[in-house]
Structures are given as structure tokens and as C-alpha cells.
Amino acid sequence: MQVSIDPPRPLGVEMTTSSPEPHRLRVLVVDDHDLFRTGLAALLSEYSQIEVVAQASGGRMGVRLAAELLPDVVLMDLRMPDLEGPEATREIISHRPATRVVILTVSTDDADVGAALAAGACGFLAKDTPTAGVVAAIDAAAQGAAWLSPRAAQVMLEAMRRGAVEPARPGPEMGELSARELEVLRLLARGLENSEIASELGISPRTAKNHVSSVLSKLGLPSRVQAAVFAVRQGLS
């Protein structure tokens, strides 16, 4: 009969098994209405996967803090007196394309939605969106997905049909895209997420994500929303 003997444990030392803490999404909240901004930040801080790294009371402060703190996601008010949301979004993304910006506003005017998307925002939410919906949008944005309120999605589709939404950077060329990347671009134009693209093409979600990143890089576009708009304008949908 074999007897297993555990190795001696040093006195005073607890043997524990620890696992690395999951990555928390770093979020910057930018809004000039103090009550709304602080309330939203407090609500978001209750979620374990989110770390609110700072709050900014205006667009210029938001641009500065985004450059200093490198958040994963910025929640951006559309209307601010010093620097409005689309302009602040454009500046943030021009300095760090990896930063995702979600517009949070009371407006779903066609021009406002178009300006925000053209600036590179990857999401557009009404301010009365439940907190869980805002968290879902933050999660989606951090993974590179678009998140639009139903009204904003409707406005964007109408604008795309009219040709009213321009890509964030003019004149991207498709010549550098491989045949597989063109397939991915067509699927982006249909609004498919990475998992759906993977299913359509018979590839892994990780490979689909890599293809999407390559398409965005080669086209010089900041988000999959912009890629979808570009594809529709090129007749690829």
C-alpha cells in the first residue's frame, strides 16, 4: 500500500492558490452636467468589471485626461460649451486610435448622429438608457463592437442610404485588402459581430477579430461602424 505524504509546510505560511485578477475596463466619463456625470460615475463604479478612472466636466478636459490616463472607453456628452462631443472624440481618437468613444446624449438628431459617427464614435446611447445598458455598451465598445440605440441605428442606416455619413478619414483604398478581408468587410456592412463573422466564414472568433483589426488598419478607419459605412458607400453590402 502506498501512502502519499504532503511536503512539510513552513510554520506561519498559509498555502493559497491565487489567480490573476480579471482586467477591469478603464472608463472616462465626460459631461458638463455635474449631477448626471457624478451620478453615472457612481453607478458604474458598482460594477466589478469597470474602473472609472476620472471624470471631466468639459470636452477639452476630456481630451487632456484621455491622453494622460489612456482609458479603454470614453463616455462622451454630445453638447458641451467649450468643445463639443464630435470634436473631442476626433481629437481623442487621432492621438490614440485604440480608445473607444461612446456618445451619451439626449439628442438623436440626424446631424448629431452623423457627426458623432464621422468623428469615430463606436456607440451612441440616449441618456435615459438604463445603467445595465450603458455597461453593455462599454463592454461591447471595449471589444471593438458598435453599440447604437435603436433610434441612432435607424438614423445611421438612413444617412448611409442618402450618403450623408462620411468616413472619418477621406479616401481609404480597398486595394490592400485580401480576398478574405473583403469578405469580412462585406459582413461588417451587414452589421455582423465577430462571432457571427466567424460562423459565416467557418473560422474562429479570434481569427475573425484579427481580420477586422486588419481591415480597419488598412482602411485607416477607427471603428467597425466606419468600416460598415464605407462598405455600404462602396456597394459591398
What pLDDT, on a 0 to 100 scale, did the predictor assign at position 162? 59
Is the residue at 29 inside a domain?
yes
**Mean pLDDT, range 67-76, rounded to an integer:** 96
Is the residue at 6 inside a domain?
no
C-alpha to C-alpha distance for 205 and 74, rounded to whole angstroms: 25
Sequence-separated (6 or more) residues with CB below 8 Å from residue 30: 37, 55, 56, 58, 59, 61, 62, 74, 75, 76, 77, 80, 85, 88
| Whole-number percent of the chain with pLDDT over 70 | 78
Checking if the pLDDT of 16 tops 80, the result is: no
Co-location of 149 and 193 in the same domain: no
For 59-73, 100-114, 150-164, which range has the lowest pLDDT when averaged over its residues? 150-164
Among residues 105, 135, 162, the one where a domain terminates is 162
Q: What is the pTM of this model?
A: 0.64
Q: Which three cell numbers stand for residue 204?
A: 474562429
Co-location of 35 and 138 in the same domain: yes
Q: How many domains does the chain have?
A: 2
Co-location of 112 and 146 in the same domain: yes
φ, ψ dihedrals at 154, nearest 5°: -65, -45
> 79 lies in which domain range?
25-162
Q: Is 164 helix (H, G, I), strand (E, B) or coil?
A: coil
Q: What is the number of other CB atoms lying within 10 angstroms of the CB of residue 62? A: 32
